[in-house]
Structure 1
Amino acid sequence: MWVRRPTPYDGPAGLEGQARRFAAQQAFWGAGGILGSIPGAHYVNHPGANRAAEYKPAQLAAALACGFQVPDTLITNDPAEAREFVGSQSLGAVYKPLWNSPYDPGGKAHAVWVREVHDSEITDAVSVCPHLFQAMVPKAFDVRVTAGGDRVTGVRIDSPDLDWRLRQDLMTCTPIGVPHSVASAVSTYLAEFTLTFGAFDFAVTTTGDWHFLECNPNGQWAWQPTPTTDTIAHALADQLQKGHAV
């Protein structure tokens, strides 16, 4: 079974308020519960596994345990703690959201990108909710590693931006080999979260060190070069047709 970001059900249009929310929740726990408990099904990925693997704190903890290099990270809602951490990073620090929450002030959709942050910018507004601050990686380029079953592919991403998603029309993508140590850690990480598929992001330094940034268990991949997407598509098809690799 291939689970790829199903649209949440909002309830019947003819209902409003609590009645509509009640119907939507019943559908989520009813239909969602059925889809997540089919006997003998091979999930790519199981919706419960997807959800568990989307928490960034869990990702970072698992990445360290699996052998990845992980930048020093602080998750806090304490402004003083945040300022101290950011100010102590000799190469600088970045801020990134813990979740891509919908954000549309004035009715216009906005995205919150990863960006450099300085201690002087941190205000008491940090106390409203948890924030993720991370040591800046002196990267030469980014890499997207896509794992499907036992197949791992890598794409080097060269972009003028800290967050390559900001202006994708300016980035270039070329296939790149994945070091054995990274591929082995990817396999261990997938097993830790019982995932069959995962899209991993790395920052690679001039000295060749691969730093784990995050793993999207439902990441997009069709934007990559054709030879890479062909490999990923066949890997997913093989999983759905044959089940677990032997």
Structure 2
Amino acid sequence: MAPDRPRAVLVLTNTYDVTADVVLRILADRRVPVVRADPGADLLTGAPLTAHYRTGEQRGTLHTSSRELDLTRVRSVWVRRPSPFEAPPGLDEHTAKFVGAQAFWGSGGIIASLPGAHYVNHPWHIRNAEYKPAQLAAASRNGYLVPNTIITTDPEEARRFCTDQPGGAVYKPLWDSRYRAEDGTARTVWVREVRPAEITDAVSVCPHMFQAKVDKAFDVRVTAVGDRLFGVRIDSPDLDWRHRQDLMTCAPIEVPESVAHAITSYLAELLLVYGVFDFAVTAGGDWYFLECNPNGQWAWQPAETTAAIAQAIADQLERGPDS
């Protein structure tokens, strides 16, 4: 890329990411140069990535099927849904592990260290902000209402906690891990109500998270892009509205000033530009923090909200490090 040309936006995502397409169309209409890449997959097809370092100098190039990107000429990086760094097929187990690790630490490190680039969000900040304990701790520090929560490997502690919650308790996985039943079918672990008698000694195998059940009237999802907030009320017959999304209804909702202030301070503490917050709202109007996904989905929301979020993300990427 010639030095006199505008700096490009680098979008890291997989081939099938239709959500990214919404923002890419906006950037194309604005004539903002964009390079779309999926390093984890592209490296397996022979797309070269090179970085040079010396005293006082850093430079490099990223090749895609149609473009060559000067890594010193990147204004913004949108970390959307890139494929994981893995080894190519056909290698033995130990070699594959070595190659996959080298790709993660090498290629991933190059992409995460581009000089002067504005990240939405930085991949290291995404990972740090995905830990549920870190989310709860940050939420508590930044003024949110947080449901009573325990994370434990002690079955007795878990039973005692669930017994002590007057409105009942729920179980939540600490990570959206892939799970398969004994017959090989894929399963999703939803948030579910749990009774003390259901808790077995299997809790000791790994940390489990139990939380006081919020007597909610409805759920809210707030998508934060910089200082712009987009709230959606979610009404669902299910405890976990994600379970049967065909049964839920959504409508835009105003975010209370106290919650907006907490969101701003939360993002600042965790060094995030973008975050998707989930709340349970009681009949009395109390907003309880449930979680914040630093790379959450948003294109399923009402059309006017989806369009506004796409414009806000495009604004962030276009402005670059001055955002």
Measured against the shorter chain, the TM-score band is over 0.9
Alpha-carbon separation, structure 2, partners of 1:31 and 1:21:
15
Alignment match of 1:131 (pick from 188, 208, 220): 208
In the alignment, residue 200 of structure 1 is paired with which amino acid?
F
Deviation at 1:39, TM superposition (A): 0.9
Read off the aligned partner of 1:75 and give its amino acid letter: I
The answer to whether the aligner puts 1:230 opposite 2:304 as a matched pair is no
Q: Equivalent residue of 1:29, what SS?
A: helix
Counterpart for residue 74 of structure 1:
150
Alignment correspondent of 2:180: 104
Q: Is the 8 A contact 1:202 1:214 kept in 2?
A: yes
- Which residue number corresponds to residue 4 of structure 1? 80
Kindly report which structure 2 residues correspond to 1:12-161, keeping only aligned pairs within 5 A, or say none: 12-105=88-181, 106-161=183-238
Per-residue CA deviation, residues 172-225 of structure 1 (Å, 9 max, x unaligned), is 000000001101110100001100000000000000000000000000000000
User: What TM-score do the two structures reach when normalised by structure 1?
Assistant: 0.98
State the superposition RMSD in angstroms: 0.9
Q: In the TM superposition, what is the alpha-carbon distance from 1:6 to its structure 2 partner?
A: 1.3
For the pair shown, which has the larger CA radius of gyration, 1 or 2? 2
Check the 8 A contact 1:149/1:244 in 2, yes or no.
no
Q: State the partner residue of 1:164.
A: 241
In the alignment, the residues of structure 2 paired with residue 111 and residue 63 of structure 1 have an alpha-carbon distance, to the nearest angstrom, of: 26
Farther off after superposition, 5-14 or 72-81: 5-14
Deviation at 1:99, TM superposition (A): 0.3
Letter in 1 for 2:258: S
Pair 9,30 (structure 1): closer, same or farther in 2 beyond 3 Å: same
Given that 1:200 and 1:216 are in contact with CA atoms closer than 8 Å, whether structure 2 keeps it comes out as: yes
Aligned residues: 246
* Structure 1 stretches of 4+ moved >6 Å: none
Tell me how far 1:9 sits from its aligned partner: 2.5
Q: Secondary structure at the match of 1:233?
A: helix
Once the two structures are TM-superposed, the CA of residue 244 in structure 1 deviates from its matched residue by: 5.5
- Distance (whole Å) between structure 2 residues aligned to residue 225 and residue 245 of structure 1: 30
Q: Which has the higher contact order (CA 8 A, sep 6+)?
A: 1
Q: What is the aligned-residue identity percentage?
A: 67
The alignment partner of 1:224 has SS state of: coil
Gaps of 5+ in 1: none
Name structure 2 gaps, 5 residues minimum.
1-76
| Partners of 2:322 and 2:264 in 1: CA distance | 13
Cα 1:226–1:40 change in 2 (3 A) is: same
Q: Is 1:243 paired with 2:243?
A: no
Distance 1:157 1:12 in 2: 42
**What is the CA-CA distance between 1:233 and the residue it aligns to?**
0.4
**Is 1:149–1:245's contact at 8 Å kept on the other side of the alignment?**
no
Q: How far does residue 10 in structure 1 lie from its aligned partner after superposition?
A: 2.1
1:29-65 deviation digits (Å, cap 9, x = unpaired): 0100001111111000000000000000000000010
